[in-house]
Structure 1
Amino acid sequence: MNRSHHFRVDHGAHSIAVNVGPGSAGEIELLVDGEVVAYAKEHAAGTTVLTGTLPSDPGRPFRVMVRQAHIVPSALWCSWEVDGTEQHMPDRAVG
């Protein structure tokens, strides 16, 4: 994996984004409305889980799963789960 990945979804008035750095062990940032709320120094084959809270009253916890294939390291899949529903996050490649 030689490029960065940027996954993003909108949920109501909020933007949830995940930035994954280049390389097979790039860092992962979870952002809500442009602010970093969770960070992983690196990821590897398998699944990395980050958690955050949507800013509402009361706050709504959610989690993001970044999955890297064991066989094809360049293949990343990202989804997020809120209120018990998991949804795919599209990848918007950043080069």
Structure 2
Amino acid sequence: MKRRHHFHIDHAGHSVSVTVQTGHKAVVEVLVDGKETGYATTAADRPVTVHIELPTEPPTQATIRAAAGPGIPRCVLEVPGVEPQVMSPRLY
């Protein structure tokens, strides 16, 4: 059965949102400031890494690490030089 889970974090003045759709094929969509900047799929509960860019000056490379399962999905934002940040789940 498919379910959608939403995560959010603010970093360096930018909004980063992730939607993880679970099921036979997990789908991860990443939005930065409301614009889709990353997308990945993976089989079942395998973790997935999505490389994104934050629109700072100069642009900052970042990574979203998403685990679709088992259990409740989890997302972590990784930015070079900053400790990895666990993204908060959002209900909607």
Q: Same fold (TM over 0.5)?
A: yes
Q: Which amino acid aligns with 1:79?
A: V
* TM-score computed with the length of structure 1 as normaliser: 0.81
Q: Which has the higher strand share?
A: 2
CA separation of 1:68/1:27 partners in 2, compared to 1, >3 Å: closer, same or farther? closer
Identity of aligned residues (%): 34
Which residue number in structure 2 is paired with residue 81 of structure 1? 78
Indicate if the aligned counterparts of 1:28 and 1:43 stay in contact, CA closer than 8 A. no
Please, which runs of 5 or more residues in structure 2 have no aligned partner? none
For 1:47 and 1:22, the matched residues in 2 are separated by: 12
Please, which runs of 5 or more residues in structure 1 have no aligned partner? none
Aligned pairs for 1:1-95 (under 5 A) are 2-69=2-69, 73-84=70-81, 85-94=83-92
CA separation of 1:64/1:43 partners in 2, compared to 1, >3 Å: closer, same or farther? farther
> C-alpha offsets along residues 22-53 of structure 1, whole Å, 9 cap, x if unaligned?
42423210110000011113453231000111
Indicate if the aligned counterparts of 2:26 and 2:45 stay in contact, CA closer than 8 A. no
Q: Which amino acid aligns with 2:85?
A: Q
* TM-score computed with the length of structure 2 as normaliser: 0.84
Task: State the shift of 1:67 in Å.
Answer: 1.2
For 1:30 and 1:9, the matched residues in 2 are separated by: 11
Q: How many residues align?
A: 91
For 1:43 and 1:88, the matched residues in 2 are separated by: 23
Q: Which amino acid aligns with 2:17?
A: A
- Over the residues paired in the alignment, what is the CA RMSD in angstroms? 1.9
Q: Which amino acid aligns with 2:91?
A: A
For 1:48 and 1:9, the matched residues in 2 are separated by: 18
Task: State the shift of 1:13 in Å.
Answer: 1.9
